[in-house]
Structure 1
């Protein structure tokens, strides 16, 4: 091959090389979202790294009642007697206001695992009713219906008077206070996460504190000619239920554009410490005396003080919310919440109207120790609507 041929081949190779270098570089293909071990997508829009909820609660609680008659117009075994308080009539049915605060965070970069803590409260609410009698002719008799113990056994119906026409006027006030709060701390694990759906399971610890107080106060004022006489009875039954337990649950969320629906179901099981505190006093005054005695009528030395016990309880809860994303980091929602616990003590159930009269006015107990603390327990629910705001990062 001569020199001209070699030069032609070299020019051809250089031209081909220049054409190759002038081509556009190969585009870099983005890797698709990596499925997690459960088949979902890890990095989806509904998988925040950090979230904070604040909610307003408008809830109703299960109404309290006093199963036994506690105020009447006479002896219960006398025809025509009316029961004015107690006897199973429900009480305190008003709305409770409160709040709930939740904070959570993902524990890994892919959002598989997380942790979340929550606290809620229902503000203290007091409901009361008052019954009066003027003591004038034709007015009602008012009194505490009691079953007096007999030395030979059995009981006899009687009445501890509050108002008696022509002798003294009187009034009785019954008040009920309810307050509830609780918290939980849960670990979260994602089962499935896609751009439009997320399913998590949760497990952790749960706490609930339900405190209630029933107060019954009566005041009697003598009418002429015994107008200088007066008397008062104060009785207080307070209960506290503290639940500690472990819980398991699951939650889901489905999104469509800016809108979403989510729900949570969980069940806790554990121990509830039930405590009953009983306090009472009776005061009598006249021109020459002013005496106060431990115990009123349904409260006597035989049941005064605190008694407590531990028992097992279940506590399920469900919630369902619907809301809208205002922007990438802020969303609003409204929903419904239902909570139930299987075993609690409530103050109205702890009143024993059987009375050993030997304890009255500071006397020494002789015979059967009544009234007692029956420790009757029951279930309890709270339910209502929520309005919330969530901030996500």
Structure 2
């Protein structure tokens, strides 16, 4: 009986299994939009056959054959996309031609700029040297005489004609703060040395006799030392002047006004200004009657001015488009160190048996004698004002070309022609006595007279800021 029941149960078991209901499969997922990326860590939905994969699946575990698992990398954080109605952030506008400088507010330059420099060609007229009356002559062949209508002044009594001097001026500057409102600049200028000459001789027929005026220290009378006279002697007399100017200055620059069309800067610093001038008188005399032979004389007067002082000034720059006008006014107060040097020399050559006998007398010329020869130095208070005006055109934002005018002045200056003492003792002059100074005398004296000096002229320049 048990065997029959077991057979019946075994026969109906497959029928019971097949009779169980089959669960329904889940519906397929909706396809992904094109370009959508599945974030890391999110289980991707089931992919239907033939559906395009937007990115490859990255394994999260070690791969077979790897010796050690790769180091974990931090995933970048993805910002949520902006809403459709969001406005983009504004981008600062950069004007064409404006240089953006890192470190200044808003990326723009300050009033002074980071660096600047200029080079200028100078074409200046220094003030002419004062020259006292030096040579007077006559066409009659008689020695010159004071008050004689036939005697005329040939050299001196006025400045010797001069031509302009060329030179240069160079400036370099740099800012001292990030806002470019305070800086410094260094300037150097020079004028080339120029020498001018005037000559007088009786050998060309223009005059037949001439001499040098002086006041006799013994009698007080005005007389002439005759250098050329027909049948007695002939002479070539040369007067030359020389001038040299140079200087430098260091200034602190501070911006006071920075407007679209006007910029004003203040200047404060130190100035050095130097003026060297010389006056030289040379003559070569051929002597026929009295002490025959050759006599050469030379008198040299040098005046050196070296000014040192503090300086203040203002600089204004007006602009309209590409055209600009620039004005600078400065004044320096300080000490002028003055040096006056007087030197003289006479050489007499007289014929002797077999040649010429030569004798030299140092420190003795005509206007320079032992009583006036030497060096004198003084320090006096002086003022140096300077004014400059320029007109030109801008070359973009970094360059400018211009044409201008400058005037500079030095008060209380020593000049060579003012240092000549024309009160002489004829007995001390070697070409008169043939033996040189024979006794001590206080005339001519070593004197120091002061006047003023100025220079003015044109400038042509180029300025750059970078």
TM-score by length of 2: 0.72
Gaps of 5+ in 2: 1-79, 94-105, 138-142, 431-435
Does structure 2 conserve the Cα–Cα contact (< 8 Å) formed by 1:48 and 1:392? yes
2:227 corresponding residue in structure 1: 162
Distance 2:275 2:416 in 1: 11
Cα drift, residue 328 of structure 1: 2.7
Structure 1 residue 331 displacement after superposition: 1.6
Work out which of the residue numbers 280, 283, 293 in structure 1 matches 2:344.
280
More strand per residue: 1 or 2? 1
Which is greater in Rg? 2
Q: How far apart, in 2, do the equivalents of 1:372 and 1:282 lie?
A: 19
Structure 1 stretches of 5 or more lacking a match? 1-16, 31-40
Partner residue in 2 for 1:186: 251
Q: 1:44, 1:193 within 8 Å by CA — same for their partners in 2?
A: no
1:218 deviates by 0.7
Cα distance in 2 for partners of 1:176, 1:364 equals 31
Structural RMSD (CA): 2.5
State the shift of 1:134 in Å. 2.8
Match of residue 363 from structure 1: 437
Is the 8 Å Cα contact of residues 413 and 451 (structure 2) preserved in structure 1? yes
Q: 1:76 to 1:246 in 2, by over 3 A?
A: farther
Checking the alignment, whether the CA contact within 8 Å between 1:92 and 1:176 is kept in structure 2 is no
Quote the offset at 1:300 in angstroms.
0.4
Distance 2:198 2:229 in 1: 20
Match of 1:259 among 314, 323, 329: 323
Q: Distance in 2 between matches of 1:290 and 1:337?
A: 52
Which of 74, 87, 90 is the aligned partner of 1:24?
87
1:79 Cα deviation from its structure 2 partner: 1.9
Aligned with residue 56 of structure 1, among 121, 125, 128:
121
Partner of 2:65: none
| Inter-CA distance 135–315: structure 2 relative to 1 (3 Å threshold) | closer
**Residue of 405, 419, 424 corresponding to 1:350:** 419
Q: Could you say what secondary structure the match of 1:65 adopts?
A: coil
Distance 1:42 1:171 in 2: 72
- Cα gap change, 1:380 to 1:139, in 2 (>3 Å): closer
1:243 aligns with 2:297: no
Alignment of 1:1-393 (within 5 A): 20=83, 22-27=85-90, 47-67=112-132, 69-73=133-137, 74=143, 77-80=146-149, 81-87=151-157, 89-134=158-203, 139-150=207-218, 155-223=220-288, 229-288=293-352, 289-294=357-362, 295-361=364-430, 362-367=436-441, 369-393=442-466
CA contact (8 A) 2:110 2:180 kept: no
Cα distance in 2 for residues equivalent to 1:122 and 1:135: 35
Cα distance in 1 for partners of 2:337, 2:165 equals 24
Distance 2:89 2:81 in 1: 17
> Would the alpha carbon gap of residues 168 and 54 (structure 1) be closer, same or farther in structure 2, given more than 3 Å must change?
same
Contact 1:46 1:195 in 2 (8 A): no
Matching residue of 2:102: none
Asked whether the equivalents of residues 144 and 297 of structure 1 are also in contact (C-alpha less than 8 Å), the reply is no
Q: Which has the higher contact order (CA 8 A, sep 6+)?
A: 1
Number of residue pairs matched by the alignment: 360
Query: TM-score when scaled to structure 1?
Result: 0.85
